């Protein structure tokens, strides 16, 4: 009898335990779901499997204890969570910025015309480059300038999305930026504008020099580049200066396509994912020209610009003149979140054809020349490029000679 009761107690205990285990987990609130959604995307896609040395499971636990009760609290928790990665390019894009991203890559921009990242040491926005022709460029803002305040409000610790949104606004309105360059600090008033950006301009200059300035990599950039090269070839160009100064990048695919217009064959770039697996992107067609080429670069040359410059340098297709480039060697994918925001996540890093990892290092030009970014008669970088071309032009053979 005692044994029979023991069996019933055991059965009853197992029934209680199984019933308990079968209970569904408590439903997450909307703010909690947003935090978990961002955590999951980063967990499966982020380029660094060590998450910058953080236990990502514990980061999730900390983010949900105590659980955020409002969407504003959730956004603050997400920002804190992403800050553990020490990666300014992995960030939430508010709905307006997410929409602007689509139009910017198509060649349009609204606002002051700056690309910024977080200066992780100073915790303020750092200018990658002003867009050529933008209000910021006209106001004299330069690559590597720090933005200390926007309309009098300190940017110390301010998120990049918040800083970007403060600089956006209706065309015709003004914003005051407090800038720092070296030891100098000063305010500058910029009038916001809607700017339609031609990504490429070109002309044939004295001595048969074909000058091409590429300001960003947008959807139509490769087609514009092809037209420029073909037109210059028809005009008897003897060599090229490709100006990538203050080009902050843009579409990865556009960078690949333009590299293929200058290279006959070979690897353009390697991408390396979180598992260390390499993917190579190659040029396999026929270059549009084989004439001498100099590429101008500076501290504002970033991302897709560095892919192009690195490929041309490694294949010895071009000589690079100017200053060390910005050093953005990470590739982002943008995910749409359930609340309509976007999430940019660094999913891979890229290496040049000779396997140079340029992230936070940049590309060192073949000829270092310090200068500003305008190509004028007083531009030492441009003058150095023309001097190099003059020594490397293919001699013209007279007819019948």
Catalytically active residues, by annotation: 303, 314, 328
Neighbours of 368 (CB within 10 A): 13
- In a 10 Å sphere around its CB, with 0-12 CB exposed, 13-18 middle and 19+ buried, how is residue 273 labelled? middle
Give the burial string for 105-134 (b: 16+ CB within 10 Å, else e): eebebbbbbbbbbbbeeeebbbbbbbbbbb
| Omega prior to 39 cis, within 30 of 0 | no
Q: Find out whether 70 and 38 touch, Cβ atoms under 8 Å.
A: no
The residue ranges of DSSP E strands in 156-283, in sequence order, are 174-181, 184-191, 193-196, 200-205, 209-214, 239-243, 266-272, 278-283
The helix-helix angle for 30-45 and 71-83 (nearest 10°) equals: 20
Q: Which positions ≥6 away from 362 have C-beta within 8 Å?
A: 299, 306, 324, 325, 326, 327
- Give 168's DSSP letter: -
Rounded CA separation 187/176 (Å): 6
Measured over the CA atoms of residue 2, residue 3, residue 9 and residue 13, the dihedral's sign is: positive
Beta bridge partners of 179: 147, 186
Burial class (CB in 10 A: 0-12, 13-18, 19+), 101: middle
Q: 153 — phi, psi (to 5°)?
A: -95, 125
Among 47, 234, 81, smallest CA distance to 159 is for 81
d(CA 94, CA 100): 10
- CA 392, 397, 398 angle in degrees (round to 5)? 145
Residue 400: Cβ-neighbour burial (10 angstroms; 0-12, 13-18, 19+): exposed
Q: Give the max Cα distance, the chain.
A: 121
């Amino acid at each position: 009898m005692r044994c029979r009761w023991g069996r019933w107690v055991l059965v009853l205990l197992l029934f209680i335990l199984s019933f308990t285990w079968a209970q569904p987990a408590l439903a997450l609130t909307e703010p909690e779901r947003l935090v978990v959604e961002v955590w999951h995307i980063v967990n499966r896609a982020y380029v660094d499997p060590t998450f910058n040395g953080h236990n990502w499971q514990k980061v999730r636990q900390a983010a949900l204890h105590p659980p955020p009760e409002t969407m504003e609290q959730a956004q603050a928790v997400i920002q804190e969570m992403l800050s553990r990665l020490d990666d300014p390019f992995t960030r939430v894009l508010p709905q307006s910025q997410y929409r602007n991203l689509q139009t910017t890559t198509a060649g349009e921009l609204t606002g002051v015309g700056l690309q910024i990242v977080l200066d992780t040491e100073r915790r303020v926005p750092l200018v990658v480059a002003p867009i050529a022709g933008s209000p910021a460029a006209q106001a004299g803002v330069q690559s590597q300038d720090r933005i200390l305040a926007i309309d009098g409000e300190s940017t110390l610790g301010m998120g990049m999305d918040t800083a970007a949104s403060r600089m956006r606004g209706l065309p015709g309105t003004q914003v005051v930026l407090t800038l720092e360059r070296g030891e100098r600090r000063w305010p500058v008033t910029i009038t916001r504008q809607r700017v339609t950006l031609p990504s490429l301009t070109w002309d044939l200059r004295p001595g048969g020099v074909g000058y091409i300035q590429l300001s960003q990599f947008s959807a139509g950039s490769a087609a514009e580049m092809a037209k420029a090269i073909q037109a210059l070839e028809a005009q008897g160009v003897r060599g090229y200066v490709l100006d990538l100064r203050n080009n902050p990048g843009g579409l990865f695919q556009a960078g690949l396509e333009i590299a293929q217009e200058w290279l006959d064959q070979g690897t353009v770039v390697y991408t390396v994912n979180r598992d260390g697996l390499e993917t190579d992107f190659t040029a396999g067609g026929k270059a549009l020209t084989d004439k001498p080429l100099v590429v101008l670069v500076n501290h504002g040359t970033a991302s897709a610009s560095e892919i192009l410059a690195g490929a041309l340098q490694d294949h010895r297709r071009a000589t690079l003149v100017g200053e060390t480039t910005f050093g953005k060697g990470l590739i982002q994918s943008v995910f749409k979140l359930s609340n309509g925001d976007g999430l940019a996540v660094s999913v891979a890093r890229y290496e040049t054809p000779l396997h140079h990892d340029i992230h936070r290092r940049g590309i060192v030009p073949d000829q270092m020349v310090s200068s500003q970014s305008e190509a004028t008669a007083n531009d030492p970088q441009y003058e150095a490029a023309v001097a190099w071309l003059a020594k490397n032009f293919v001699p013209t053979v007279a007819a019948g000679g």
